[in-house]
Amino acid sequence: MARRKLAAGNWKMNGTRAALAEAEALAAACPAPGCDVLLCPPATLIAAMAERLRGGPVRVGGQDCHPAPSGAHTGDIAAEMLADAGAVAVIVGHSERRADHGETDALVRAKAEAAWRAGLTAIICVGETEAQRDAGKALEVVGAQLDGSVPDGPTPERLVIAYEPVWAIGSGRTPTLEDIAQVHEFMRARLAARFGDALADGVRLLYGGSVKPGNAAQIFGVPNVDGGLVGGASLKAADFAPIVEAAS
């Protein structure tokens, strides 16, 4: 099956309203991209960004959501609220949330279910630490995260997996292309074993971790890599536009 690539930007805890100009510059730089383009700004910017980008090629997503649709959860945001603000997708299980907030696979799964309940695509992040890779456990770790974090009942439209080795995030280091290929092939096979070939063939598997304009084309050319989840290089249109181009 031909999968349309996805270039997704994760702004993390960066950006105030002044940064909306970068989102508009990105949309202007990629008027008709040959891939899907998503920006996930801080929650404070979602509504304004969605409004400014409405009708254009760049969609907007959240970086996290709570499993519940509403309630006494101070500081949290429901998937329904993200959708109401104009988001079409949400990242769940990013390694920074797994590390900073102790998020377990079970919680990530519940968040992905919440995303689907609200009509959002869930971008579920998995990836090993450096110690786990050095111990030869990368596939074991990623397999267990996939098993525990992906809910039953996925569709190719509402599920995206992002393989993000923890040690590659923000470090300027990336796995070899062979290692990326191995993990992505493994993930597709793991999804096929649980959900069948049709689902596994349709789901987009992103690579994330120090994707830059200079390495994006090579990484996106690896078999089973259907685009990227990009942190630092998504903050500026001048950096992210060539990455979108590489995915197109």
- Provide the annotated active-site residues: 94, 164
CB atoms within 10 A of CB 71: 9
Q: Is 10 in the site for ligand PEP (CB under 6 A)?
A: yes
Give the interface segment with ligand PEP, choosing from 99-107, 108-116, 193-201, 209-217 (CB under 6 A): 209-217
64 neighbors 77 (Cβ within 8 angstroms): yes
CB of 169 vs ligand PEP, minimal distance in Å: 4
SS3 call for 138: helix
Does 242 bind ligand PEP (CB under 6 A)? Our answer is no
What's the sign of the alpha-carbon dihedral 236, 239, 245, 247? negative
Among 231, 239, 244, 246, binds ligand PEP (CB under 6 A): 231
**Options 92, 159, 230, 241; binder of ligand PEP; rule CB under 6 A:** 230
Half-sphere exposure of 112 (CA within 13 A, CB side): 28
Closest CA to 59 of 15, 5, 115, 7: 7
Q: Which of residues 167-186 bind ligand PEP (CB under 6 A)?
A: 169-170
Tokens at residue 184, please? 């992505």
Q: Which is nearer to ligand PEP, 10 or 149 (CB)?
A: 10
What are the tokens at 116? 């689907």
Q: Does 164 bind ligand PEP (CB under 6 A)?
A: yes
Of residues 41, 61, 154, 208, which one binds ligand PEP by CB under 6 A? 208
| Cβ pair 11, 41 in contact under 8 A | yes
The region of 39-47, 152-160, 204-212, 239-247 touching ligand PEP under the rule CB under 6 A is 204-212
Site string for ligand PEP, 210-229 (x = CB under 6 A): xx-----------------x
Residue 103, CA distances (Å) to 32, 92, 110, 148, 229 in order: 37, 10, 11, 12, 19
The residues of the shown chain that bind ligand PEP, judged by CB under 6 A, are 10, 12, 164, 169-170, 208-211, 229-233
